[in-house]
A and B are shown apart, each in its own frame.
Chain A
Amino acid sequence: MDLSTLTYIVVGATFLLYIGIAIWARAGSTGEFYVAGKGVHPVANGMATAADWMSAASFISMAGLIAFNGYGASVFLMGWTGGYVLLALLLAPYLRKFGKFTVPEFIGERFYSQTARLVAVICLILASVTYVIGQMKGIGVAFSRFLETSYEQGLFIGMGIVFVYAVLGGMKGITYTQIAQYVVLIFAYTIPAIFISMNLTGNPIPQLGLIGSMADGSGMDMMAKLDQVVTDLGFGQYSEQVMGSKLNMFVYTLSLMIGTAGLPHVIIRFFTVPKVKDARSSAGWALVFIAILYTTAPAVGSMARLNLMNTIQTGEVGSPTGNMLISEAPAWFNNWEKTGLLAHEDKNGDGRIQYYNDKNPEMAKKAEAWGWKGNEMTKVDNDIMVLANPEIAGLPNWVIAIVVAGGLAAALSTAAGLLLAIASAVSHDVIKGMINPGITEKSELLASRLSMVGAIGLAGYFGLHPPGFAAGTVAIAFGLAASSIFPVLMMGIFNKKMNRSGAIWGMIAGISVTMLYVFQEKGIFFIPDTAQILQWEGYTKSWFLGISVNAFGAVGALINFIVAIVVSKMTAEPPEHIQHLVEDIRVPKGAGAATGH
């Protein structure tokens, strides 16, 4: 059976499964719509959180980033897992004890202020919508590639499907569909990894293949081999190349970790477990399920890079017959060239492809002597590595079809979870909490669904004109969450004296500074050509200590903490009953069962 038919069948079958579950579990009351009646077992909740968490950035982008950035890409691996430690130790059990529906609701009550709640809602929406834009981009690319339509059409189909199960199903639908999606995506990720690790190193466990030796009889370590292959062609040494600088890597990792613990769609998950002690272990289970993918990714990245280099550099570097003949290019090479994400140009007209780093002066000199006229792989998009990997390794078509289904599952589940967080902020916090407290449950549910539709439309619009690559957009979303939500939540629990003014000004200062730094490079609200308004003479990218925009959230968070503490020292202490409330959050005893059960 040919690949596209098989892809239709596999993707179609998984979608029927998700939609079937969503209909079967259709939400009844408002409480169920938001947090699944707080009756989800910690292991099940952990699995759903993992699916919610691992987006197109984790599934499609990350291994490609690792393949081309080597050690430098460790920031994603540590950053997107280490945040769970912060969540489990600093936030989850206390927020569960507090027992409310949404993150802004906690902030509003803890800081006895509707203004604080509103500021939190705005921060939450800014971070979540930015995140959804990244997902929409991923969904659009994946659909268009495999349904062989334009990117725009792919995006519209994706929006339609997100609408069906997020809007009609609600959280309960999402919790169970997300468990199904986790199973699909983890199989899709690990099966090709096992095959490839087996081929290259003879070890079926990718985590061991990564540190193992080659099965080609040379007995050389896989990593040493990869380092040699890439440095011979003038690229940075895989196992040591850094991203920006060590300082940038440090701050980048911190920003992703704090962002993880500040993203509302992840936090909201810990409201759904039955007890405080379940909130503690649930974060651990989530991380176990996430780690299965995250510890496999370094193997996928390094092995994909090695396979790619070996496909093109077939023989000795510098020998006239050492490079792949264009006429003998494998099928995957030609297939991906059709998407425009992979491109070559035979600059020296020898009918072969030379893939090397022509920006490296030493390498360029050597290459000239060999008659090479510049790097001929004019485009190798990082994002194709995971999807192309099974083809490069020559795996059967059914494996490729499953990978496609997995990528879509990752992107759709995250988009749906984020939409839910946005919807509950608008309908529950703004409409019910501030504008019309007497709203009926039915109207609240309607408002929530309408705000999802609005968010899908907005994200779709930006998805048509995205501010950058999916992974970059996602990293910015983390920065926004890191600089606004996490610090106030933490201070709300650990600093009894933190007051209303401190929290409000902390959030505003943190997110404003971060947004300014981002907009200065990317344009105001990502509108192109508006960036120079914020730039000064001699502006250079990453001007602040060489910290990139994607990594800046940690600096914003620091500013948030400092401003909040200074302001709170200068203003009145929080009232007595709030200090008692904080004391009460700190002990598990007396945690309510389900609100709205």
Chain B
Amino acid sequence: MDTRAAQYWKANIRLVATLLVIWFVVSYGFGIILAEPLNAIRIGGVGLGFWFAQQGSIYVFIALIFFYAARMNALDREFDVHED
């Protein structure tokens, strides 16, 4: 049981770490650090860096949370730690 719990926790950490990398890349990466070079790519009338800073990052944040919720609920069942 203990090793099962350890595996569950490890899978959780792996998922959270992956999602936080994406979280960092779309906001701090695309929106701030790389904004200037990305602005060369246009999305409609604005640069891609600007768009990520004021629109895109927010949409990605929402997707990240729902993806996390769905994956964790599946993990809970897989490791049999879900609530009744």
Contacts and interface: CB of A to CB of B under 8 A. Distances in A.
Interface of A: 66, 71, 74, 77-78, 81-82, 84-85, 88-90, 93, 207-208, 210-213, 221-224, 239-240, 246, 249-250, 253-254, 275-277, 280-281, 283-284, 287-288, 291, 294-295, 298, 583, 586-591
Nearest to B65: A284
Contacts of B55: 207, 210, 295, 298
Contact of B44 (A81, A211, A284, A287): A211
B60 to A, nearest CB: 9
Given A74-B53, A85-B61, A287-B62, A212 B69 contact: no
The 3 closest A-B pairs by CB, nearest first: A221-B45, A211-B44, A74-B53
B42 to A, nearest CB: 9
Interface string B70-84: 001100100011110
A281 B69 contact: yes
Contact of A280 (B36, B61, B68): B68
A140 B17 CA distance: 44
B23 A85 contact: yes
A425 B81 CA distance: 32
| Residue of A85, A276, A590 most packed against chain B (CB within 10 A) | A85
A222 B68 contact: no
B33 A81 contact: no
| Residue of B31, B35, B46, B73 most packed against chain A (CB within 10 A) | B46
Given A82-B57, A211-B46, 15 more contacts: A78-B53, A85-B19, A210-B44, A212-B45, A239-B39, A240-B39, A276-B83, A277-B73, A280-B68, A280-B73, A281-B66, A287-B58, A298-B55, A589-B76, A589-B80
Contacts of B50: 71, 74, 223, 239-240
Given A211-B51, A222-B45, A588 B83 contact: yes
Given A85-B19, A89-B20, A298 B54 contact: yes
Contacts of A90: 16
Provide the main secondary structure of the chain A interface: helix
15 contacts: A74-B31, A78-B27, A85-B61, A88-B69, A89-B20, A210-B46, A211-B45, A224-B45, A239-B46, A253-B32, A276-B83, A277-B83, A287-B61, A587-B81, A588-B83
A6 B47 CA distance: 42
A587 B19 contact: no
Contacts of A280: 65, 68-69, 72-73
Interface string B1-17: 00001001100100010
B51 to A, nearest CB: 7
| Residue of B59, B62, B65 most packed against chain A (CB within 10 A) | B65
A88 B65 contact: yes
Contact of B19 (A77, A89, A590): A89
A288 B33 CA distance: 26
A240 B62 CA distance: 26
B79 to A, nearest CB: 8
A85 B65 contact: yes
A288 B28 CA distance: 21
Contacts of A71: 35, 50, 53-54
A239 B62 CA distance: 24
Contacts of A211: 43-46, 51
Given A277-B72, A280-B68, A588 B31 contact: no
A97 to B, nearest CB: 9
A539 B32 CA distance: 29
Contact of B83 (A89, A224, A589): A589
Contacts of A588: 76, 81-83
Contacts of B53: 71, 74, 77-78
